[in-house]
């Protein structure tokens, strides 16, 4: 199989910062662009992230500088606050519809995902009508020489293939050997797991709102 070259060459840190900016532009638009402190908190969230990281201020600052050089982020000031705030330019550099941008955001923050996983976790970013719409966007994003995503080979026992973004190399988080056979017997618990994940995300959002209010 011919190796697909990355569309861009973003480091793991650049992917996390860019993904966090895209996510918050959709989920908390009233507090976007983002301050440095709120962006650090978004990068280090313990929910909706894979892998979990613990970036310090220096790491995020250096990453923002490198993304700015690449034209993928810009700064914003004004209003009653002189605090520098940051916003992504991915939708400008690569004109993308909101549904496609949301898919890339999820892949940047969570790693490889199946169409079903994208459909079940995208509601806060974009409300897909049905999984066929997800598949349609994945097909468009994976087409041509300048593809944004590619499909990975199916794992043994998996019904759906996973998709991965092509914005840079990424570290694959290994799964334990017991996870594959458990897939078919753990389906009834997926709804509960999704609810727990959603509640965790809401807690993180509340923490972020508190930080944003303190920054004002």
| 56-110 pLDDT tens trace | 999 999 999 999 999 999 998 766 667 899 999 999 999 899 999 999 999 999 9
Other CB atoms within 10 A of residue 9 CB: 11
pLDDT of the residue at 213: 63
- The closest of 96, 90, 95, 109 to 164, measured between CA atoms, is 109
- The first and second tokens of residue 199, run together, are 């509640």
Higher pLDDT: 138 or 95? It is 138
Q: Is the pLDDT of residue 137 over 50?
A: yes
Domains defined for the chain, CATH in brackets: 12-165 (1.10.10.10)
| Strand 149-151 relative to strand 163-165, pairing | antiparallel
**Looking at residue 190, what is its pLDDT?**
45
In the chain, the DSSP E strands lie at: 34-35, 73-78, 81-88, 149-151, 163-165
Q: Compare 177 and 146 and report the one with higher pLDDT.
A: 146
Question: Is the pLDDT score of 4 beyond 60?
Answer: no
148-191 confidence digits (pLDDT tens): 999 999 888 888 999 999 999 876 655 543 333 333 333 344 45
Residues 12-34 have a mean pLDDT of 97
Q: Which residues contact 159 (CB under 8 A, 6 or more apart)?
A: none
b vs e for 104-127, b when ≥16 Cβ sit within 10 Å of the residue's Cβ? bbbbbbbbbbbbebbbbbbebbbe
- Quick one: average pLDDT of 11-28? 97
| Contact indicator for 94, 10 with CB cutoff of 8 Å | no
Contacts of 92 (CB under 8 A, 6+ apart): none
d(CA 100, CA 207): 28
Residue pointed to by tokens 């020489």: 145
Cα(156)–Cα(79) distance, rounded to whole angstroms? Answer: 55
Tell me the two tokens of residue 161: 């293939």
Radius of gyration of the chain (CA): 17
- Kindly report whether the global pTM for this prediction surpasses the value 0.85: no
- Phi and psi at residue 2, to the nearest 5°: -70, 135
Contact criterion met (CB below 8 Å) for 87 and 21: yes
């Amino acid at each position: 199989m011919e190796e697909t070259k990355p569309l861009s060459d973003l480091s793991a840190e650049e992917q996390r910062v860019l993904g966090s900016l895209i996510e918050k532009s959709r989920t908390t638009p009233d507090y976007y662009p983002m301050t440095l402190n709120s962006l650090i908190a978004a990068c280090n969230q313990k929910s909706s992230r894979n892998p979990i990281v613990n970036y310090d201020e220096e790491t995020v600052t250096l990453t923002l500088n490198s993304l700015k050089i690449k034209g993928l982020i810009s700064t914003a000031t004004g209003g009653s606050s002189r605090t520098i705030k940051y916003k992504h330019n991915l939708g400008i550099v690569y004109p993308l519809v909101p549904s496609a941008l949301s898919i890339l955001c999820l892949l940047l923050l969570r790693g490889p995902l199946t169409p079903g996983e994208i459909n079940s976790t995208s509601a806060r970013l974009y409300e897909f009508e049905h999984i066929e719409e997800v598949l349609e966007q994945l097909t468009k994003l994976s087409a041509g020489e300048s593809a944004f995503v590619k499909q990975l080979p199916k794992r043994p026992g998996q019904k759906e293939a996973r998709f991965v973004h092509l914005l840079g190399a990424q570290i694959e988080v290994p799964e334990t050997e017991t996870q594959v056979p458990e897939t078919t017997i753990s389906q009834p618990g997926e709804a509960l797991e999704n609810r727990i994940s959603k509640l965790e995300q809401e807690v993180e959002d509340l923490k972020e709102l508190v930080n944003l209010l303190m920054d004002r």
